[in-house]
Structure 1
Amino acid sequence: MKIHFIAIGGSAMHNLALALAKKGYQITGSDDAIFEPSRSRLEKQGILPREMGWFPEKISTDLDAVILGMHAHEDNPELKRAKELNLKIFSYPEFLYEQSKNKTRVVISGSHGKTTITSMILHVMNYHHLDVDYMVGAQLEGFDTMVKLTNHNEFIILEGDEYLSSPIDLRSKFLLYNPNIALISGIAWDHINVFPTFSEYKAQFTAFINSISQGGVLIYNEEDQEVKNVVEKSENYLKKFPYHTPKYTIKNEKVYLLTDQGEIQLSIFGKHNILNMEGARLICNQLGVQDEDFYEAIISFRGASRRLEKIYETPEYIVYKDFAHAPSKVSATVLAVKENYQKKKLVACLELHTYSSLNPEFLQQYKNSLSPADQALVFYSEEALKIKRMQPLSKDLIIESFGDNDLKVFTDAKSLEKYLKEINKENTVFLMMSSGNYGGINLDNVFYSK
């Protein structure tokens, strides 16, 4: 097959391009900017565009398919040419379905935890040398790419995102997979720029449940009332398996899971991660992995990239980096770190970076999310607001929204960097939460100790 990618440089798109190239497909692509690690990975595979920009002449009738990324716009000249030639135009999730429609599709969904749960499942399968196809939203230890597609594997594990499929397909991505086995980890309002009300957002999960093959399996977090509500209201004929947080204990900043096989020491921590692990266990059961084998493998799981990832540790302090940005994710992550390091001071630093987090109406969703921290910091870039064409925010509004009069708010990256450098770090855990980069701060300059 000959396939062209419009916006090939994206995190998901370039991984799909690499997977298809490894499968033997002829791949070309375009983008207006490609950054690391996408650039070097595409170059190594020999499919990096020679020059940046959009070139309609790349679109010809000998293409079997065009895959359109979210980074492109509706008026993209290559997209326009593909339409003129009546070529098959797929969104990213549409093409994944085409590649997996004869497989057993396992889709992991939820407002939070889906990347971690998918990563846990893949870690267990990889540990036991059980080969599956997959698509996951983070780079995993022991895996070359975030996408794998073969002609022979029976199962494909897909991280199911509720965001839009493409600029010309406004359906949620996970509605295109039609899973045989599915999991919902939680429902908490997100993507306010696309789903302006919580009811509209929640409706996507109702539709997702209805998209599961009749007689299929749905595993769901029964501790989340919103999840319980949508599952109980669904009339789709499914086998339903609820899960909840298993028993665990913490000793000397280490987590031990209490199982029928006795205490098992984990390499992860946090109630939300232990709850995620329970969901992963039930999915693995569906894939033929027994509990004993699951626990043997999960002991060595250290987390997905940028999900509670320890990036520095000295005798005086520890630094974690986390992708958390939505209110529910922030709250769960802060609680997890505080619970695990009860004898240490916790400094939590959150960057408001997404459209939702920078929306004044949405900010109140963050109320008390940083409260467990001994010191809370919030950073946002006024330049980012301008780029997103959003109204300026006041520091007072942020303090009021978070419900913390002691909250320190920074809008200048240099000021935040200076503050973090000078703060007393003795017996402290720093939790840096962001889907951005704090205005370009080099964390090595702040925390690295030779």
Structure 2
Amino acid sequence: MGTPSQNIHFIAIGGSIMHNLAIALKKKGHHVTGSDDEIFEPSKTRLSVNGLLPDKEGWDANRITTELDAVILGMHARENNPELKKAQELGLKIYSFPDYIYEQSIDKQRIVIAGSHGKTTITSIVMHVLKYYNRHFDYAVGARIAGFEDMVQLSDAPIIVIEGDEYLSSPIDRTPKFLKYHHHIGLISGVSWDHINVFPSEDEYVRQFDLFADATPKAGTLIYSEDDSLGTVIGSKEREDVVELPYKTHAHIIEDGVTYLTNGNENIPVKLFGKHNLQNISGAMEILKRIGISTDQFYLAIQSFKGADKRLELIGEKKGVSIYKDYAHAPSKVKATTLAVKEQYPARDLVACLELHTFSSLNKEFLSQYKGTMKYCNVPIVFYSPSTLEHKMMDAITKEDIKKSFGESNLNVFDDKEEMLNFIKSQKWENKNLLMMTSGTFNGLDYKALPDMLN
């Protein structure tokens, strides 16, 4: 891109996508610094390896000087952050993450994948296939993907593939991230109310996706899942000179625990499974067809795709028991993920454990949205940490609140990690699978130890 080296400071550098952008910019030759009041793994190690780990945690306004060319502000910071205040006082250029990505890709074809669920997997599939055929492209994605060292790349590539999040751009910019990218090709995988702390009503949440669809430019493309009712209402609305492409669950069969895509008389084995992932595959294929990847090329490349990190990730097997972890936390994701495992292994009972960790999932008013989401589990478990509620400064909830909201008579609720693990250990692990779902950590659960816990 030919830009000279700049001095760039990250406020809240420890975020999942923020630290990856910091690493990408350092690799481009920029001088990068950062700060944060808490940094967790794997961000901490990756920042350290790349020489970007702050020498101390916390905020320090003295880090902000007139020598900085840009400040990139992460969502973890607050409006009264002392470093932000200093940058504002000095009149420095302050970017949100999406603002910066857009500026760096203004001359590229921008492909943005949006949706309440599935966007990470669709973005990851598109990236995998493009890399398989040695296409030159940039990207920004919210999860680690096999074959990619980082989650952000900025170069002189002609296209960029972006996972488009509907969450706010920064503490001082309440615009949803995906509206900042100004897509040429946009995809909506599905719409299901989330982020109640930002979008207090379903109508307000859905409206953001309508705005995203309406932002598709003339001669642009809008792709949407016709298996999703809200996505279809939004995607099928007539827009002048916009190509609208619906997709649906890919035709498939399941044999001996393996999912095959069917294409005429051909059966193509894939490592993904579940109806939602078969929809994701179709969505990714539609994007790739728009940028020159044929159907035959797609079917060849998809066979080696192992999935994005923490998305129905197989973490162990023992004596016929498969253990999966998944990033599922919103109601629609929980229901889709549990159904996927149950359909893939219909002869096995499913023990599924969900951690309530997000602002929405821990909100007493939102909990009712989880009603019926664990009906496919033989042994449903919900875990929450009172300390997480305190840290997020939220009202307390009780086990009875959770049981009433989920509506499952056999639901097991725990607020102590060891009690939860003892309950899991006590199960008779014959002809069963274990599924762990969270956007958190289950209070530092060691997933690698799970297989040895099962009798």
Which residue, out of 192, 203, 208, partners 2:207?
Answer: 203
Q: Which amino acid in structure 2 is aligned with residue 216 of structure 1?
A: G
Q: Which amino acid in structure 2 is aligned with residue 231 of structure 1?
A: G
For the pair 1:175 / 2:179, whether they are aligned, the reply is yes
For the pair 1:386 / 2:390, whether they are aligned, the reply is yes
Which secondary structure state, in structure 1, belongs to the residue aligned with residue 236 of structure 2? Answer: helix
Which residue, out of 50, 67, 70, partners 2:72?
Answer: 67
1 CA distance for matches of 2:449 and 2:54? 34
Cα-to-partner distance string for 1:29-60 (whole Å, 9 max, x where unaligned) = 11122222222222222222222222222212
1 CA distance for matches of 2:365 and 2:279? 30
Aligned residue for 1:141?
Answer: 146
User: Normalized against structure 2, the TM-score is what?
Assistant: 0.96
2 CA distance for matches of 1:56 and 1:426? 58
2 CA distance for matches of 1:43 and 1:404? 45
1 CA distance for matches of 2:390 and 2:445? 19
2 CA distance for matches of 1:311 and 1:373? 19
1 CA distance for matches of 2:137 and 2:389? 42
Q: Structure 2 vs 1, CA of residues 236 and 379 (structure 1 numbering), >3 Å: closer, same or farther?
A: farther
What stretches of structure 1 of length at least 5 have no aligned partner?
none
Aligned residue for 1:23?
Answer: 28
Cα-to-partner distance string for 1:39-98 (whole Å, 9 max, x where unaligned) = 222222222222222222221222111100111111111111111111110000000000
Report the CA distance between 1:340 and its aligned residue.
0.5
For the pair 1:117 / 2:122, whether they are aligned, the reply is yes
Which secondary structure state, in structure 1, belongs to the residue aligned with residue 374 of structure 2? Answer: coil
Alignment of 1:49-60 (within 5 A): 49-60=54-65
For the pair 1:364 / 2:364, whether they are aligned, the reply is no
2 CA distance for matches of 1:122 and 1:445? 32
Q: Which amino acid in structure 2 is aligned with residue 136 of structure 1?
A: V
Q: Structure 2 vs 1, CA of residues 261 and 67 (structure 1 numbering), >3 Å: closer, same or farther?
A: farther
What stretches of structure 2 of length at least 5 have no aligned partner?
1-5
Contact 2:315 2:447 in 1 (8 A): no
Cα-to-partner distance string for 1:11-38 (whole Å, 9 max, x where unaligned) = 1111000111111111111112222222
Aligned residue for 2:104?
Answer: 99
Which residue, out of 74, 87, 92, partners 1:87?
Answer: 92
Which residue, out of 341, 351, 356, partners 2:355?
Answer: 351
Contact 1:421 1:447 in 2 (8 A): no
Aligned residue for 1:311?
Answer: 315
Contact 2:138 2:152 in 1 (8 A): yes
Aligned residue for 1:2?
Answer: 7
Q: Which amino acid in structure 1 is aligned with residue 395 of structure 2?
A: Q
Alignment of 1:408-423 (within 5 A): 408-423=412-427
1 CA distance for matches of 2:101 and 2:249? 32
User: Normalized against structure 1, the TM-score is what?
Assistant: 0.97
For the pair 1:43 / 2:48, whether they are aligned, the reply is yes
Over aligned residue pairs, what C-alpha RMSD do you find? 1.4
Q: Which amino acid in structure 1 is aligned with residue 129 of structure 2?
A: V
Q: Structure 1 stretches (4+) deviating beyond 6 angstroms?
A: none
2 CA distance for matches of 1:437 and 1:7? 20
For the pair 1:376 / 2:376, whether they are aligned, the reply is no
Contact 1:209 1:234 in 2 (8 A): no
Contact 2:317 2:451 in 1 (8 A): no
For the pair 1:270 / 2:274, whether they are aligned, the reply is yes
Please identify, of 211-220 and 12-21, the stretch whose mean Cα deviation from structure 2 is larger: 211-220
2 CA distance for matches of 1:84 and 1:261? 66
Identity of counterpart residues, as a percentage? 50
Contact 2:313 2:325 in 1 (8 A): yes
Q: Report how many residues are paired.
A: 449
Contact 1:314 1:449 in 2 (8 A): no
Q: Structure 2 vs 1, CA of residues 53 and 388 (structure 1 numbering), >3 Å: closer, same or farther?
A: closer
Q: Which amino acid in structure 1 is aligned with residue 420 of structure 2?
A: L
Alignment of 1:208-219 (within 5 A): 208-219=212-223
